[in-house]
Amino acid sequence: MSVRQRRRSPRTDESHVDERWMASYLDMVTVLMCMFIVLFAMSTVDQEKFAALRDSLATGFGQTASDSTDVSEGLIVPKELVDQKGEGFIADANTVLANEELQNLEALRARMQKALADHNLQNTVKFTIDERGLTVGLIGGETFFATNSTQLSSTANDVLDALGGIIVDVPNQVSVEGHADYRKSVAPFPTNWELSSGRATEVLRHLVESCDVPGKRVKSVGYGDTRPIAEGTSDDALALNRRVDIVVLSDASEEVRNLLAELPEATPTS
């Protein structure tokens, strides 16, 4: 009797062996539940924001008129850049940005021209707007420097004070670039490289030390006689090539800057 009872009593170490799959199953169910919660959250649309976006797009493309939808933010396309057929075609975004950059550079040029005119110095520089930005050419070495010297003249100090008061307020990087004419330099300068770079450095120092333009925004470079802007050996040609350029560099993208020179307003202005 005792043997029969011993055989009928269940063995506890072998119970529920076939139920181990439930742990993996529950893990899988939990993961699926989390995934569906995330998908549901991603698919939920804010109806109010969606309606505002829909109205804004419709108004921006000229499909509907709206007195309440705010479309003041974003890219505003001038009328002259809309397709002539009147079909609401939006011009290339880079062209729009290039026009905006040109307007900014022209406004900066106008401020500089006024500052110079206030001191009767408007005829001492030459302005050019191109793919690099706004170039202010200090034309004629004798106007700004003594012959074969890097020392700034009194006129140069006045011009730089007027320009520096404007440059200090703009965030753009500035490149000060010295140039020389084709004639060989004389002592104390071994070559035109030293002369042109020395003059550029003196202009840079004045902008930084006297006009408080941050030094981290300015650099100087000397090109010697390698980048003439006038041909020939006349006094006028030599004066044009013997110069220092202050270039307020455009901070637009390369694609936008390449379009600046193609715009009709981007022409040299004295």
Interval 1-18: pLDDT, tens: 444 555 555 555 555 556
Q: Sorting pLDDT into bands at 50, 70 and 90, what band is 21?
A: confident
- Please tell me which residue, 72 or 242, carries the higher pLDDT value: 242
**pLDDT tens for each residue of 61-70:** 555 554 544 4
- Say if CB 248 and CB 206 are below 8 A apart: no
Looking at the chain, the whole-number percentage of residues with pLDDT higher than 90 is 45
Between β-strands 174-178 and 218-222, what pairing exists: parallel, antiparallel or unpaired? parallel
Would the CA dihedral through 97, 100, 102, 104 be positive or negative? negative
What's the mean pLDDT in 245-253?
A: 95
- Say if CB 134 and CB 248 are below 8 A apart: yes
Domain boundaries in the chain? 93-260
Would the CA dihedral through 94, 96, 102, 105 be positive or negative? negative
Of 40-54, 92-106, 196-210, the one with minimum mean pLDDT is: 40-54
What's residue 59's pLDDT?
A: 62
Q: Which CATH class is domain 93-260?
A: alpha beta
Q: Sorting pLDDT into bands at 50, 70 and 90, what band is 49?
A: low
What's residue 70's pLDDT?
A: 47
**pLDDT tens for each residue of 119-163:** 999 888 999 999 999 999 987 666 898 888 899 999 999 999 999
- Say if CB 185 and CB 195 are below 8 A apart: yes
Query: pTM to 2 decimals?
Result: 0.65
Between β-strands 243-249 and 218-222, what pairing exists: parallel, antiparallel or unpaired? unpaired
Mean pLDDT of the chain: 80
Buried/exposed 165-199: b ≥16 CB within 10 Å, e otherwise: ebbeebebebbbbbbbbeeebeeebeebbbbbbbb
Beta-ladder partners of 133: 130, 249
Residue 216 is classified by DSSP as: G
Whole-angstrom Cα distance, residue 97 to residue 74? 12
- Please tell me which residue, 6 or 100, carries the higher pLDDT value: 100
Q: Provide the strand spans (E) within 131-242.
A: 133-139, 174-178, 218-222
What's the mean pLDDT in 193-212?
A: 96
**pLDDT tens for each residue of 214-230:** 999 999 999 999 999 99
What's the mean pLDDT in 179-194?
A: 91
- One-letter amino acid at 39 equals L
- Say if CB 259 and CB 94 are below 8 A apart: yes
What's residue 237's pLDDT?
A: 87
Q: Sorting pLDDT into bands at 50, 70 and 90, what band is 78?
A: low
pLDDT at 72 over 50: no
